[in-house]
Amino acid sequence: MRLVRTEIKKIIASYAILGFVALSLVFNALLITTNGKDRYADYVAGVSETIGIELGYDFSKTLMGLPQSEYRERLFNETSELKNVFADYFVGEIAKTYISTLNLSGKAAEDMRAKYADLQNIVAEKAEDGDSLSLYFAGSTYSQHKKLFGFVMPTLCVEGIIITLLSLLFTLGYENINRTEQLVYTSKVGRFIVLKKYVAAAIIGFLAYILLMALTFALYFTANDYSGVWDSNVSSGFNAIRDIAIGFRPFATWHNFTVLSYLLATVGLSFGLVFCFSFVGFITGTSIRNSYIAFLAIFFAGALFLALPMLLPSDSYARFGFMLTPIWLLLKQPLWFTDGGIDVLWRNFETWGVCLSFAALAVLAVAASIKFTKRDIV
Amino acid sequence: MKIVLHEMRKIWNLKSVVMLALLCGLFYAVFLSSYVNNYPNGHPNAENVALSTALTIRYGPTLEPEELEEYVAETRPGLIAAADQFIAESSNLAEMGIRDYASLRESVMELSYDTSDEAIAGQLAILREFYGLAESGESMEEGACMPLLQYEIAALDDLVSMYEFVLDPSRLLEYSQNWSTEYRTRFEEKISTDEFRGILPEHTLSTTRQYAQGLVMLVILATLLCFSPLLATDRMRKVHLLQYTSKQGRGVIGKQITAVLISSIILTTALLVVFSMIFATNGTQVFWNNYVSSFNSLFGTTIRITFGQYICVLALMMYLIGAALSTFVFILSRFSANYINLIAGLIPVFIASAILSDNLFRAPLNDFRFGMALFEPFVCITALMIGFGAAICIVWKERRIDVA
């Protein structure tokens, strides 16, 4: 533990990591404050706190008892017109469109149909439970949801990943930079120091991620009133997915999520993703001694994983496998816990993706660590 | 000069070149290839581009009213006849009382799209089948089919109506009366000259801008990754102390900034040459001498400029951005004690320069921002001056600081 503490001190003493955290905070603050304030969304949040989130006759009746305003009229019009969007929602059409757009056949087409057959059952349950008759942010739902889960969360996740990677590359490359490798590796702890370094960097990465998240969310939820909408269903009829092949379609999740539980699930899984990238950092940092080259290797590997599915034929089964890799999971974050769209063949792709990536990278990390203990360092 | 060359050799080593090639390959595959492979993208863009290309080849960069009249008289009857023949072969359309292109257009215009009415839904199904568009969204087959003929006719008709619109100064001035003074003055200038008679499809202009927007990101990434380790490596290995004891002394840092700036020009030139050649394969260079502010693109540019000159301005802006960024990278590298500090600095620099460049290249010379006709090049020049000034200050201070 003493060595871990020392390594943590080394990382903190490097102004680069702290500076990056500070810059990330400034960036997030700018992202939140320059995005424009939606006063109607604030009004809806206030209304939902007063009269609840379940839409229906009672809601409309109570709403009309509130003071007259332009926003009240708008909300009344929007909520009274809202139908149970899942009642006549047939997702088989989505599968058909995806299959014809990508020219899928065989196993890929079967899997695509199976995914949407499963989703049809979920949709039927949602229709029965009236999940879509939930207020959320009414007419501002799509933009507000996109702001939080499409901009703020992915930005935070990327920052968490970068900080973890920088911490790892810094601590693993530290001895090489200071030409103390031989000295450290001949000490009692020897080459196993890399494990302590990993723990130290992972702790720093996670703490920085938590700190960033806490401060950013504090600012975000101060600027955007969510007080009344936490219990709204995330599959509200006002929420939507913008699909490249179909256009706007209902936001159907595999499980029943409120806004709060969806946020917690996304945050939880994002930690898993950061964990995966910490293994990537460890594997690269122990395999490549030069930190700059190690960073470039990660950069190019990420770019390669990003490019390969685009270069493969659209009906290739392997193409869909890439969607389970960390870089694609990161890009697909706004669609987590939904069907995932045209590039995804399997339900719960994000959970499977993080678990499989974690397992594969853990094995590679152990292999890299064993290889490192046997490597000729002179 | 010898030292500058040696410093450049440090930048342009084999590893850098391989890395650059890999970066370019991946970047092209992910971000740029679609602007070349899928140009012109979709309908009626394909028909508009084909028509504009044909007109440019035949009549040159500008189109006179009699030339358009001649072209329409030659081509439109043929297209209509082909469409009429196609329609005459359809028994379903005959049942709906549609016997030629004119009656088809009339029916489509008059049809209410109320699918709850069975009769209308039936008519819509017939029309959909005729146009070859299955409900599932299957793509159209290329070749002589009705949808393509219709797009060709529509492209020609749209072009004629746009041309007639720009030839009527009173309608144009009425159109522009709520604009800013600068914009109106410029609009009047366009009306009084032959600029509006230029041929340039909006799709070609937007594709070129988007390609340039992608290319400038590549210039930024390549500049950051290639030039950043130069000074940081020297400082990490404490080679700079050895350099300072040489005959050149502390003047070495001046040579290093020179090497970085020259390398930046070489890098931008190489990227521009390679990626311009690739882009040229889509045939856009046929519009080289055509005005950007054509009758197809009323807003056009803030200055009288041809498409070729516009591309040169975009290239110049890339040189300026590349050079400005290389000076910032030089400064960052000078203050980075190790690679991690350098990387931690490179990421925010990349984000800032990417946001700035994305904004500058979205629609350059399209709007009088802050009342300036050349706002975007001005920002690029300012960025270079700031970067260069800061780098000179560093070089000057380096001669006097205590390095021990």
Residue A340: pLDDT band by 50, 70, 90 thresholds?
A: very high
Nearest to A27 by CA among A168, A154, A189, A129: A154
B215-251 pLDDT tens trace: 999 999 999 998 888 778 877 777 777 777 877 777 7
Q: Provide mean pLDDT across the span A251-262.
A: 95
Residue A169: pLDDT band by 50, 70, 90 thresholds?
A: very high
pLDDT at residue A337 in the model: 96
B372-392 pLDDT tens trace: 889 999 999 999 999 999 999
B199-213 pLDDT tens trace: 999 899 999 999 999
Q: Which of A11-25, A26-40, B108-122, B218-232 has the lowest mean pLDDT?
A: B108-122
**In this structure, are residues A64 and A47 in contact, taking their beta carbons and an 8 Å threshold?**
no
pLDDT at residue A378 in the model: 61
B43 vs B9 pLDDT, higher one? B9
A140-163 pLDDT tens trace: 999 999 999 999 999 999 999 999
pLDDT of B137 over the 50 cut: no
Residue type, A115: K
B342:A169 CB<8 A: no
Q: Provide mean pLDDT across the span A305-312.
A: 90
Distance from the Cα of B348 to chain A's closest Cα (Å) equals 8
pLDDT at residue B138 in the model: 43
pLDDT of B94 over the 80 cut: no
User: Which residues in chain B touch residue A93, judged by CB atoms under 8 angstroms apart?
Assistant: 136
> In whole numbers, what is the pLDDT of chain B averaged over residues?
85
pLDDT at residue B142 in the model: 44
Task: Enumerate chain A positions whose Cβ falls within 8 A of a Cβ in B.
Answer: 14-17, 19-20, 23, 27, 93, 96-97, 100-101, 162, 166, 169-170, 173, 177, 245, 290-292, 295-296, 300, 303-304, 306-307, 310-311
What ipTM describes this predicted complex? Answer: 0.83
pTM of the predicted model as reported, rounded to 2 decimal places? 0.86
Please give the Cα distance from B404 to B402 (Å, whole number). 6
B49-61 pLDDT tens trace: 999 999 999 999 9
pLDDT of B133 over the 60 cut: no
Q: Provide mean pLDDT across the span B160-170.
A: 83
Chain B window 354-393: which residues touch A at a Cβ cutoff of 8 Å? none
B272-296 pLDDT tens trace: 999 999 999 988 999 999 988 888 8
pLDDT at residue A305 in the model: 93
User: Which residues in chain B touch residue A306, judged by CB atoms under 8 angstroms apart?
Assistant: 26, 30
Phi and psi of A84, rounded to 5°? -75, 95
> In whole numbers, what is the pLDDT of chain A averaged over residues?
91
To the nearest whole percent, how much of chain B has pLDDT over 90?
37
Q: Provide mean pLDDT across the span A71-91.
A: 89
**In this structure, are residues A137 and A53 in contact, taking their beta carbons and an 8 Å threshold?**
no
Residue A36: pLDDT band by 50, 70, 90 thresholds?
A: confident
Residue B91: pLDDT band by 50, 70, 90 thresholds?
A: confident
Please give the Cα distance from B398 to B402 (Å, whole number). 8
Residue A287: pLDDT band by 50, 70, 90 thresholds?
A: very high
pLDDT at residue B132 in the model: 58
A354 vs B2 pLDDT, higher one? A354
A295:B30 CB<8 A: no
pLDDT of B335 over the 80 cut: yes
Q: Does B17 touch chain A (CB under 8 A)?
A: no
A328 vs B401 pLDDT, higher one? A328
pLDDT at residue A234 in the model: 95
Distance from the Cα of B29 to chain A's closest Cα (Å) equals 7
